[in-house]
């Protein structure tokens, strides 16, 4: 196990954070970060944070600080192909995987580290966007967490009606030579934070958090990721379709979703949460996709609700 960079100058995380390079079973290498619970607080367990596509561990420093202050250790990671973890192509801005099973291998490596660090039990999960897709699959495969809080989980992707058949055609063609590594239509090689203006952006209504994210990527541009490849799109379409057909797991769950959501598909979230026994769906007025990067009252509502859920099932 080798020490990896943790950009504490932009992370705004709690004291004591560390990061490591970890091997995966298929020969990859990912970056995993951990923060301890605040000194002097009673230990309440560990919160696993599953980032979304284009994200990186430093983005969740503020969230880690909140959970650490309440007595939770925090473990998060850069999924393969994003953050400081190795990229598939020389142009680091292309987001690419062959299949979503690869992310489960990343998770297995991160959980091995949790065991090596002897992080406190029980474990809980906070999963955003693509991390919510990875997290739901992990729950079905036996991830040992006592409860889960989802933020705008990617259980489907928003598309216009005319786009969906074209997306499937593109995805089906992706295995052909020279096709899978191409950028998906209507995306660019730049991160949304660089492409969009704050006014009318699809991520957050909070200018302070918008500037926080822009500062992180401007200071450490190696963290930046642009649009996905057609092969990633293929993998995402097949995975979200499969998950949509599966009955919800038994894990106690909470999901937050903004009324301005324009990135993930809303109907699969409503359907899944309605079918999920004892689960709760919180609809947040005038919130965009990044619930944990939203204005303070939205962030506080999420953290209060997730802490209450974790406390109940801890």
**Tens-place pLDDT, residues 111-139:** 999 999 999 999 999 999 999 999 999 99
What pLDDT sits at residue 1?
Answer: 80
| pTM above threshold 0.75 | yes
Residue 26 is classified by DSSP as: T
What's the pLDDT band for 171 if we cut at 50, 70, 90?
Answer: confident
pLDDT category at 161 given cuts 50, 70, 90 is confident
Q: Which CATH class is domain 2-313?
A: alpha beta
User: What angle do helix axes 230-244 and 266-275 make, rounded to 10 degrees?
Assistant: 30
C-alpha 157: how far from chain center: 15
Q: Does residue 186 register a pLDDT over 90?
A: no
Mean pLDDT of 89-98: 94
Q: What is the mean pLDDT of the chain?
A: 97
Instruction: State how far the Cα of 126 lies from the Cα of 134, in Å rounded to an integer.
Output: 11
Beta bridge partners of 126: 49, 149
Instruction: Identify which of 131, 132, 133, 135 has the alpha carbon closest to the alpha carbon of residue 144.
Output: 135
pLDDT at residue 18 greater than cutoff 90: yes
User: From start to end of the chain, where are the E strands?
Assistant: 2-3, 18-23, 29-35, 45-50, 72-78, 123-128, 148-151, 253-258, 280-284
Domain boundaries, the chain: 2-313
pLDDT digit string (tens) for 27-49?
999 999 999 999 999 999 999 99
Query: 152: which 2 tokens?
Result: 């705008």
């Amino acid at each position: 196990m080798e020490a990896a960079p943790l950009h504490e100058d932009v992370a705004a995380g709690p004291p004591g954070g560390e990061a490591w390079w970890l091997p995966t079973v298929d020969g990859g290498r990912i970056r995993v970060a951990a923060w301890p619970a605040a000194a002097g607080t009673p230990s309440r367990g560990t919160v696993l944070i599953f980032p979304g596509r284009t994200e990186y561990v430093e983005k969740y420093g503020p969230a880690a600080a909140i959970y650490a202050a309440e007595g939770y250790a925090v473990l998060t990671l850069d999924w393969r192909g994003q953050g400081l973890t190795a990229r598939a192509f020389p142009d680091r801005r292309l987001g690419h995987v062959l299949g979503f099973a690869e992310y489960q291998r990343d998770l297995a490596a991160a959980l091995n580290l949790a065991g090596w660090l002897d992080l406190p039990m029980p474990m809980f999960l906070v999963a955003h966007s693509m991390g919510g897709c990875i997290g739901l699959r992990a729950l079905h495969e036996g991830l040992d967490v006592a409860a889960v809080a989802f933020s705008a989980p990617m259980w489907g992707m928003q598309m216009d009606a005319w786009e969906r058949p074209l997306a499937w055609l593109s995805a089906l063609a992706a295995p052909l030579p020279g096709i899978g590594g191409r950028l998906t239509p209507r995306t660019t090689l730049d991160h949304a934070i660089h492409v969009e203006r704050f006014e009318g952006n699809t991520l957050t209504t909070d200018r302070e958090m918008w500037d926080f994210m822009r500062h992180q990527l401007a200071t450490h541009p190696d963290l930046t990721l642009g649009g996905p490849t057609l092969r990633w799109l293929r993998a995402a379409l097949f995975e979200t379709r499969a998950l949509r057909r599966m009955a919800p797991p038994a894990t106690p769950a909470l999901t937050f979703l903004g009324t301005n959501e324009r990135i993930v598909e809303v109907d699969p979230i409503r359907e899944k949460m309605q079918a999920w026994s004892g689960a709760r769906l919180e609809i947040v007025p005038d919130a965009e996709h990044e619930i944990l990067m939203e204005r303070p009252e939205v962030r506080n509502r999420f953290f209060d609700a997730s802490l209450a859920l974790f406390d109940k099932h801890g």
